[in-house]
Amino acid sequence: MGPDPAVAAVRLAVRRGLAALPAGSMVLAACSGGADSLALAGALAFEAPRSGHRAGAVTVDHGLQDGSDAHAAAVVRTLAGLGLDPAGSIAVTVGRRGGMENAARDARYDALNGAAVRLGAAAVLLGHTRDDQAETVLLGLARGAGARSLAGMAPSLTRTRPDEDGGETVRYLRPFLELDRATMRRACKAMGLDPWDDPHNVDPAYARVRVRHKALPVLEDTLGPGVAEALARTARMLRDDADALDELAARAYGDLVDPGAGDHDGPDVVLAIRLEGLDELPRAVRTRVLRTAAVGAGSPPGTLAAVHVDAVDRLVTAWHGQRHVDLPGGLRACRRYGRLLIVRG
């Protein structure tokens, strides 16, 4: 008799993820001890030897709760018991920038990036599920975000770890984005794994928790079952659209940007784009070009908002003599002699 259907589902998802990685390479599972990441660790421990990969795991101790170090040690023992080697924990200090959730996420990724680089891992696997994806889409809708944010979490992404040598890129995979949270719990039970329930996951101080325990249940009650699956499907379709628009914008940016702007416009000019052709682009492509230009000139992407991009867009499409637009990072956008310039403020 085969494995429990939930166990078979998580193993298949991990198997498909491993198929994209070089045989013999190290793969790490990021595991908090919760049901989703514990099911991930169990599936990786089973699948990696069968696909010719080496498998390890790491848990991050954020230090946000009493006894977090003891919890991290318990998770490491569980991971080692699964046969994952190396299995270890990393203690981090969570700052305050961007709120607790953002600061914790940044600290976590910094730790995972460092572990992956030290161990030469081909990828780090993350346990995000279809339910997490639905929550992400709803949060994006509430913020009035664009297609890229509404596309949710990508199944594959890379992050660069900055260092003095220019940084190293770490690959992350999310094999469970097509599986729901209930499957994770069933899989853990069938594999004899006892997941930990993080108290933060029921704390209504966090917007994601309110979406999980209030907004989504109301939508399910009002609209019927399947809302989370539909939201995740919407994210997948929007990701395809956003990828296509980003590719068109990248080509347009390459055609329109002046690579030598600083050489003949003076030291204050960081970047210049020809207006001819820019104003003819579809708005969805044009605003992506403008955002790319602002970020490329040094405007922090985390603080560069739609209101800034819209104001720069008006310099292109609705110019009536306005002088400049202030951008985050001490920059300004202005229109001069048939070009859009981004200059130091």
Taking a C-beta distance cutoff of 8 angstroms, is the pair 103, 97 a contact? yes
Taking a C-beta distance cutoff of 8 angstroms, is the pair 78, 188 a contact? no
Domain range annotation of the chain: 5-237, 259-344
According to the model, what pLDDT value does residue 337 have? 85
R_g (Cα) of the chain, nearest Å: 23
According to the model, what pLDDT value does residue 90 have? 94
- pTM score of the predicted model: 0.84
What's the CA gap between 325 and 130, in Å, rounded?
40
Class of domain 5-237: alpha beta
According to the model, what pLDDT value does residue 146 have? 77
CB-CB neighbours of 77 under 10 Å = 11
Strands (E), the chain: 26-30, 54-61, 87-91, 121-125, 156-161, 168-173, 257-258, 269-274, 324-327, 331-336, 339-344
Fold classification of 259-344 is: 3.30.465
According to the model, what pLDDT value does residue 328 have? 93
User: Would you write out the chain's pLDDT as a tens digit for each of its 345 residues?
Assistant: 789 999 999 999 999 999 999 999 999 999 999 999 999 999 999 999 999 999 999 999 887 787 888 999 999 999 999 999 999 999 888 877 767 777 888 889 999 999 999 999 999 999 999 999 999 999 988 887 778 888 899 999 998 765 544 568 899 999 999 999 999 999 999 999 999 888 878 888 888 899 999 999 999 999 999 999 999 999 999 999 999 999 999 999 999 998 766 556 667 888 999 999 999 999 999 999 999 999 999 998 878 888 999 999 999 999 888 889 999 999 999 998 889 999 987
What's the CA gap between 285 and 105, in Å, rounded?
30
Three-state secondary-structure class, residue 303: coil
- Residue 220 sits at the vertex; the CA angle it makes with 218 and 225, to the nearest 5 degrees, is 170
According to the model, what pLDDT value does residue 263 have? 58
According to the model, what pLDDT value does residue 164 have? 44
